[in-house]
Amino acid sequence: MKLLLTASVILATSIAFAQAPTPQPPASAPTAPFTSSTLSGNPHSIPNRKENQQDRIASGGRLIVSQRASINQRQNRASGQIYRQKHNASRQRS
């Protein structure tokens, strides 16, 4: 009896926290109000970011090797800029 009660509580909580699948729009429906021809080639514009996000979702949320390398390179560049700003500021104070 105690085992049955425990199993039913576990099942009920797992169902309560389960996520329903996100409904996908039909293939004919536009995913964004802009098309890539109106974006003037900016890869960081909102429509491009949304398209990239949908691509990641479709691929299981994983980044491909070139995407990971690009992100690491940008993070390293930003980290270097922060380091230089911090240390240049300390030199200028003295």
DSSP code at position 37? G
Residue 11 reports pLDDT greater than 90: no
Is the separation of the CB atoms in 31 and 54 below 8 Å?
yes
Instruction: Name the token pair of 46.
Output: 């909102």
Backbone angles phi, psi at 67, to 5 degrees: -65, -45
Instruction: Name the token pair of 87.
Output: 């240390």
Q: Which pLDDT belongs to residue 56?
A: 82
Give the pLDDT mean for 68-86. Answer: 95
Q: Which pLDDT belongs to residue 70?
A: 95
For residue range 17-73, list pLDDT tens digits in order: 555 556 665 555 555 554 544 555 777 788 988 998 888 888 887 888 998 999 999
Count of CA atoms in the C-beta half-sphere (13 A) of 76: 6
Boundaries of every domain in the chain: 54-94
The one-letter code for the residue type at 83 is Y
Is the separation of the CB atoms in 31 and 51 below 8 Å?
yes
pTM, entire model: 0.39
